[in-house]
A and B are shown apart, each in its own frame.
Chain A
Amino acid sequence: GQNIDQPTEMTATEGAIVQINCTYQTSGFNGLFWYQQHAGEAPTFLSYNVLDGLEEKGRFSSFLSRSKGYSYLLLKELQMKDSASYLCAPVEGTDKLIFGTGTRLQVFP
């Protein structure tokens, strides 16, 4: 079966650091994507992890632990434009992304 759990909403202050957690249970796991989606817009690619550990890309980092079925997205030096939904999407098989419901992040000045 498929089960993806991430917080529904989070708030943070401009300049701060926020960590968005995601736990998952999927069959045939083959990596995990994080996407950013501004309201009413298309999801855009942030990161992909297939091996355990931390991947850093500028202000954004993503971590994966396959044995724990756990990932997080870390956003540093938050900016107002980071207010968006963040979608955790483990890959089932070779190409099926299973999307969570997303975490809506609001950044306040």
Chain B
Amino acid sequence: DADVTQTPRNRITKTGKRIMLECSQTKGHDRMYWYRQDPGLGLRLIYYSFDVKDINKGEISDGYSVSRQAQAKFSLSLESAIPNQTALYFCATAFGGRTDTQYFGPGTRLTVL
């Protein structure tokens, strides 16, 4: 089984709909991250969490919210989806400490029509 899983893997939705993307990990890592990737722009950080009680905004948090339900689960919500949120979304985890490698989930391809 994969260490970091994301659901759904693909989603097509309409403008204005609420969408939730879920991330689960079995690595026992404390830190979890949400990124989006757009062609020509690279990976950009949306939100990150160092533990269940710690949530931080990243570079591009507007239009998104997150929930850290447990150490192993970190969800990303789009309250009212818009077309420019069409992107590939990745969840990542890291053990913690000073600087640690981030391990990425397989990604969710989201299309907002």
Contact = CB atoms under 8 A, between A and B. Distances in A.
Interface residues of A, number: 22
B98 A43 contact: no
**What's the dominant secondary structure at chain B's contact region?**
strand
Interface in A27-80: 30-31, 33, 40-45, 48, 50
B101 A45 contact: yes
Interface string A86-103: 010101001111011110
Contact of A30 (B90, B99, B104): B99
Interface in B33-57: 35, 40-45, 48
Interface residues of B, number: 24
A41 B101 contact: no
Given A30-B99, A31-B99, A42-B107, A96 B41 contact: no
A99 B42 contact: yes
